[in-house]
Amino acid sequence: VNSLRKLYILLDNKILFLIIIAICLASLLKPWLLINGILIGSLYSLGAIGLSLIYGNLKFANMAHGDFMTLSAYIALTLMMFLFPNSENSASVGPFTFKYELLLVIPLAVIIIGLMATVFDKLIFKKLRTLNATSAAIALCSLGLAVGLRGLIQFIWGTDSRSFPRESKLFWDLPFRIKIPPDMFFCAVVAVIIATVFYLVLFKTTLGKAIRATSDNPDLARITGINTDRIILYIWFIGGILAATAGILISVQQALITPVMGWKILIPLFASVIVGGIGNPIGALIGGILIGITGELATGWINPSYKPAVYFFVLLVVLLLRPNGILGSKGRQF
C-alpha cells in the first residue's frame, strides 16, 4: 500500500508525468525497443536487488558486486566444461541456444558465489565493522576486492572473451516488427521468478522479518534475540546468489563473457538502485526496468555507446524530482 501511494505521488508530479508520456510516445514509434528494454531491465533489476539488499542492511555500496557477477559466469563455464566435456555436441534446450548442461551447473555456480560472499564478509567486512570503519572506508575496501577479483579472473581465464556452448537460433518474430532473441526472453522470465521468490522470502518469512529488523535497528534486533551476525551472513549469501544468477543470465543473454563484464554493468545497476530508492528492493526492481527501457529507447535515436550518459541523465532527472528515489524514503527501507 505504501509503495502504491508513493507511486501515485510520483505520477502526480507533472514534470515527471510528461517524461513518462515521452517514453510512451517513443515506445509507440519503436515498440521493439520497448520490449528489449523491459527484458534487459529485468536482468538489471535482479542485479540491482542484490546490490540494494547489501546497502539497505550494511549501509555501504558494494563495488565488488559486478565482479561477483563476472566470476559466477566463468565458474559456471568451467563447471560445464569439467563436468560435461562433450556439451558442445549435445542438444540445446528447446527453442533456446544454450545446452541442457548449463541448467545443471547454474545452481552449483550460484551457491559457490554465495558461499564466497560470506567468506569475504568473515575475512574483510566483519573485521571492518568491528573496527567501526566508516561506510566510505568499507566501500573503498570493496573496490579493492573488485580489482582483486578481476585480476584473479584474468589470471585464471585470460583476457579473451568466452562464451557458453550454444547453437544459433532464429529470433522470435512478433507483431510490429518486434524480434526477440529466445535466450533474452528466457533470462527475463527467470529473473522475474527469482525476484518474486526473493520478495516472498523478504516479506513473508521469519528470515525476511529478521533481515528487515536488522536493517531497521541492529542493536534492538540483537536485544530481541536475533543473531544479527548470522543474519548478516544470510544477507551476503542471498546477495551473492542474486549477483551470480544475474551475471550468468546476462552472459547467456549477450552470448559473451569478458573479465570486465560485471564492472561495466555496475553503472546501470547503481543507477537502478538510486533511481528506485536506495535500500528498497521493490524500488530496485522498478528502477532496473526504467533504466533498461530508457537505455534501449535511446538507441533508436543515438549511438548505443552513449547508453551510460542516458542512465546518468535519467538518474539526474529522477533525483531532481525525487531526491530519495522513486520509492525511497528517509525512514525504513526494508
Consecutive 10-residue runs of the chain (334 residues): their mean pLDDT?
55 56 67 82 89 86 92 94 86 81 93 95 91 90 94 92 79 64 84 87 88 85 87 92 92 88 89 83 84 84 82 82 71 48
Cell, residue 62: 558494494
Extract long-range pairs of 180-186: CB within 8 Å, 24+ residues apart: 180/35, 180/36, 180/39, 181/253, 182/95, 182/96, 182/97, 183/96, 183/97, 183/98, 183/252, 183/253, 183/255, 184/36, 184/39, 184/40, 184/253, 185/39, 186/96, 186/252
pLDDT > 90 in the chain, percent: 28
160: left (phi over 0), alpha (psi -120 to 50) or beta: beta
Cell, residue 100: 541442457
Residue located via cell numbers 550460484 = 110
Q: Which residue stretches of 86-181 are H helix?
A: 100-120, 126-130, 135-157
Please name every residue paired with 179 in a beta bridge, in sequence order, or none if there are none.
Answer: 173
Mapped onto helix, strand or coil, the DSSP state of residue 19 is helix
Given a contact cutoff of 8 angstroms between Cβ atoms, the answer to whether 87 and 101 are in contact is: yes
pTM to 2 decimal places: 0.86
Given a contact cutoff of 8 angstroms between Cβ atoms, the answer to whether 164 and 99 are in contact is: yes
d(CA 148, CA 142): 10
| Per-residue model confidence (pLDDT) at position 332 | 45
| Per-residue model confidence (pLDDT) at position 328 | 66
Angle (deg, nearest 10), helices 261-276 and 65-83: 130
| Per-residue model confidence (pLDDT) at position 315 | 83
